[in-house]
Structure 1
């Protein structure tokens, strides 16, 4: 349920109303936007008389929310959310590029990639330390050593880092990571999501391979329900019947997120198609559809990469794509976050 307040409602009367609602053992989500102020009620609202609330002098309207996700719902938070990470703004007109290798392989490699992607204009360095792989015989990442190398690259270049967490047991290792990624395979690892919700670390949540949009929003809800509202959504392609590409990039996810949620949405064109030559056109499509950022895999030598080399851009290719990205986001009226 949401309560829409009248413009310039008396602050003392607003506080009194919130206290009265809290005595009913409801969780309160107060959202003051540019034009609308909303009080969101989370919990059992069946006993609330909507007409009595509507009669309150500071209340403009009362509505029941039918969607199961509340905190992630735009009705609870009408304005777009801006997530601030290490001095960068993500969402609502701010555009960010997250770039780097699928896997951290060596100190020399990750620092070289960090310097190259920063030079081309990327704002965040991505790199996998813990790697979930389909085959147990594939390279699984350098794990804790990989995290240490990412932090060395951060120190060398000043770039904030984003990397994937596999288990809540590893959370202490991520203390100095700027943005924690939850991969597609862990999107419904609810124990992990709850633990991340109890931190205040910004979370980068990827959509599952076969997940509906409602399931995607509900995974964000697991994090937000525990108190962490710093969630960024990422569409990375979904599994379909088409065999010629790795996954189908669901561009429609962007307008759906913009309509039903207030959270930022980033597109990962590299994992979507699984081929480097499709990164540029998919990036263009994502920007045109209103994405708040792109996550792009970049490697110093894609042919020799230990994982996902086929979808990784080399330095020259990434520089070329970044020039196009800068032109497109300027045309769309956005700025680099």
Structure 2
């Protein structure tokens, strides 16, 4: 259930409602909106229904949430959320771009990639220090050494850092370096990991699982938000289907569906979504047109020598051309759509 407070409800009235709910053995999640406060109630349904919510002073109405993912739903928060990553806002109507190599391979490679990403106008540097790979013989990442290179690149360029964390034991270490923690597709339903990143309070980028439904994806986000961390951004990166030409099937309909079902920002990763560098530009343009809040693009100084995902990585020239096109499209849509 969601309690919607009156626009003129006082702080004391809000506090009394929260205390009343807690005294009934229930938990609350409070969201301060622009015009009113919303209080989400979680716990036993019978205890919730027994509360005289609408009789409490300062309460405008009580709304029952039918979906089992409550905190990330539009019923809980009708207006879109904006996730602030150390000054860079995702979901405020601007298009943000996260660019960089799939894996941090060396200091020189990452610093060169960071300068390219910065020059193109992106706001985030992406790069994996920990790499969960299908084959145990594939490059697994530089781990903390890679994290230190990411921090050095941030200091040199001002780009924010988003990087993947793959296990609970590494959460504290990765969080000490990163501005945003990424949960990869293979870990979307690693519930212990979701809870752990939720407790950090750091912004989280949650990628869709390899074969996950939208419902399962939103429930995964609920695990993070249920720990009190509302700074979650969803990332569509393609799902596994019977199609063999592309690496995955990029589900751009998910952008519209998520905007309808949830208040969380949504970005798209066309690099993993297609697995082919020449499809990254058209799918990026389509994602922007579909209403995505951002893009995650793999960029490598020399894709032919990449230790991970070279075929889907853009070289510097292709990246610059893509950024020019998506920025023009984003500006056009912003001016045309009222």
Q: TM-score, normalising length from structure 2? A: 0.94
Output the CA distance in 1 between the equivalents of 2:32 and 2:122: 32
SS state at 2:249 partner: coil
Does 1:171 pair with 2:153?
A: no
Output the CA distance in 1 between the equivalents of 2:130 and 2:141: 5
Query: What is residue 244 of structure 1 aligned with on the other side?
Result: 245
- Pick closer, same or farther for the CA change 1:49–1:161 going to 2, 3 Å: closer
Report deviation, 1:210: 0.6
Output the CA distance in 2 between the equivalents of 1:81 and 1:15: 23
1:5-51 deviations in Å (ceiling 9; x for gaps): 33423443333222211211211122343455422111113233479
- Pick closer, same or farther for the CA change 1:200–1:49 going to 2, 3 Å: closer
Query: What is residue 14 of structure 1 aligned with on the other side?
Result: 14
Query: What is residue 321 of structure 1 aligned with on the other side?
Result: 322
- Can you give the 5+ residue segments of structure 1 that lack an aligned partner in the other structure? none
Contact 2:150 2:161 (8 Å CA) reproduced: yes
Query: What is residue 134 of structure 1 aligned with on the other side?
Result: 134
Report deviation, 1:85: 1.0
Does 1:201 pair with 2:188?
A: no
1:82-123 deviations in Å (ceiling 9; x for gaps): 111122111131321000001111111110110011011011
Contact 1:36 1:78 (8 Å CA) reproduced: no
Query: What is residue 107 of structure 1 aligned with on the other side?
Result: 107
Query: What is residue 283 of structure 1 aligned with on the other side?
Result: 284
Query: What is residue 216 of structure 1 aligned with on the other side?
Result: 217
Output the CA distance in 1 between the equivalents of 2:51 and 2:135: 58
RMSD: 1.7
Output the CA distance in 2 between the equivalents of 1:94 and 1:143: 32
- Pick closer, same or farther for the CA change 1:54–1:179 going to 2, 3 Å: same
Query: What is residue 30 of structure 1 aligned with on the other side?
Result: 30
Contact 1:201 1:230 (8 Å CA) reproduced: yes
SS state at 2:45 partner: coil
After TM superposition, the structure 1 stretch with the greater mean CA deviation from structure 2, 321-330 or 223-232, is 223-232
Report deviation, 1:155: 2.1
- Pick closer, same or farther for the CA change 1:37–1:200 going to 2, 3 Å: closer
After TM superposition, the structure 1 stretch with the greater mean CA deviation from structure 2, 303-312 or 154-163, is 154-163
Report deviation, 1:217: 0.9
Q: How many residues align?
A: 334
Query: What is residue 303 of structure 2 aligned with on the other side?
Result: 302
SS state at 1:259 partner: helix
1:189-227 deviations in Å (ceiling 9; x for gaps): 111111111111111110101111111111111111112
1:152-205 deviations in Å (ceiling 9; x for gaps): 222222212111111111123210211111100011111111111111111111
Contact 1:166 1:182 (8 Å CA) reproduced: yes
Report deviation, 1:315: 0.3
Output the CA distance in 1 between the equivalents of 2:166 and 2:51: 47
Output the CA distance in 1 between the equivalents of 2:61 and 2:280: 45
Query: What is residue 152 of structure 2 aligned with on the other side?
Result: 152
- Can you give the 5+ residue segments of structure 2 that lack an aligned partner in the other structure? none
Query: What is residue 48 of structure 2 aligned with on the other side?
Result: 48
Contact 1:29 1:76 (8 Å CA) reproduced: no
- Structure number with higher helix proportion: 2
Contact 2:247 2:272 (8 Å CA) reproduced: yes
Does 1:81 pair with 2:81?
A: yes
Output the CA distance in 2 between the equivalents of 1:14 and 1:87: 29
Query: What is residue 3 of structure 1 aligned with on the other side?
Result: 3
Contact 2:147 2:177 (8 Å CA) reproduced: no
